[in-house]
Structure 1
Amino acid sequence: MIRMNPQHAPHDSGTQDRRAIESVVADVERTQRARDTEGFLALFHPDALWTTAHGKVLLGLDAIAAFTRAVLPDAVWDGEVTYDVAHIQFLRPDVAAVKVRQVYHSAEGDTEGAPLYVMTRRDDGRWLLHACQNTEVLGG
């Protein structure tokens, strides 16, 4: 479930798009938790690019798919991961920059990521991940 920061509540215009974007972020959380590789990949635009939290640059869905299929099924974390939409900024009606707070909860303590997803809306109204940067948040 996506928890929206109250100070970034939806505006009157674009509420349907905001909900659709929040739904994609919820699907990112769901597919990561389930280690659902194909479900995760279905969230990407065919021309997507992704930079991992550790700086690996993946250009295009084929590269993202190869990396995801190699890493996600065997990903190990001893708690759960949550994704909270922190802010949505529409750059154009069909392009949005989405700031996410990602937290891996474990017995050793929480670790955070601060992804930025640039999402685009397809002609059919579906929002997809298009240009994404995941950044590890270091303590201190």
Structure 2
Amino acid sequence: MIASMNTEQATTTASLEAIAQVVATVERTQRAKDAEGFLALFHPQALWTTGHGKVLIGFEAIAEFTRTVLPTADWDGEVTYEVVHAQFLRPDVAAVKVRQLYRSPDGDTEGAPLYVMTREPDGRWLLTACQNTPVAADPA
């Protein structure tokens, strides 16, 4: 039983590290306005809802939007992403709450994305169902 628990703990730790790396890659690709690097993180049947409520169903819709919007985004690229909570729904499915902070001379803007990620048979974690939600300046 102890060996089994250690194996489960090691698997969970490795999964959490891999999930954190995906979120770090989201940050890196957003800063670089690297559409292709960002798109490499998505499951082929992904669902994405933008911070403005635009629903994108499937990789092609996400790719078309991202290739149009990300390279021409009118912000300076100063953004950070931090995993604040990860909850395993199954060993191969995780709900990941992220803190997103855009910095600009006009003030900071915060987001609270939720990423549902799935682990593929090859071990990669991919963005599968995501909601990018802005945080109101006064969330009363």
Q: Same fold (TM over 0.5)?
A: yes
Match of 1:128 in 2: 126
Matched, 1:12 2:4: no
Q: Output the CA distance in 1 between the equivalents of 2:92 and 2:40.
A: 19
CA distance in 2, matches of 1:74, 1:54: 17
- Give the Å deviation of 1:12: 3.5
Partner of 2:95: 97
The residue aligned with 1:83 is 81
Greater CA radius of gyration, 1 or 2?
A: 2
Q: Would you say the 8 A contact 1:79–1:107 is kept in 2?
A: no
What pairs with 1:47-66 in structure 2 (closer than 5 Å)? 47-66=45-64
**Is the Cα contact below 8 Å between 1:78 and 1:107 reproduced in 2?**
no
Q: Which residue is equivalent to 1:69?
A: 67
CA distance in 2, matches of 1:37, 1:25: 15
Can you list the C-alpha shifts for 1:7-64, whole angstroms capped at 9, x where unaligned?
A: xxxx935000000000000000000000111000000000000000110000000000
Tell me which amino acid in the other structure corresponds to 1:49.
Answer: L
Measure, in 2, the Cα distance between the counterparts of 1:18 and 1:96: 9
- C-alpha distance in 2, partners of 1:109/1:53? 18
With 22-31 and 72-81 compared, the bigger mean Cα shift is at 72-81
Identity %: 72
Unaligned segments of structure 2, at least 5 residues: 1-7
Considering fraction of residues, name the structure with more helix.
2
Secondary structure in structure 2 of the residue aligned to 1:123: coil
Match of 2:36 in 1: 38
* Secondary structure, aligned partner of 1:46: strand
Aligned-CA RMSD value: 1.2
Determine the structure 1 residue equivalent to 2:109. Answer: 111
Q: Name stretches of at least 5 consecutive residues in structure 1 with no aligned partner.
A: 1-10
How many residues of Structure 1 are paired with residues of Structure 2 in the alignment? Answer: 130
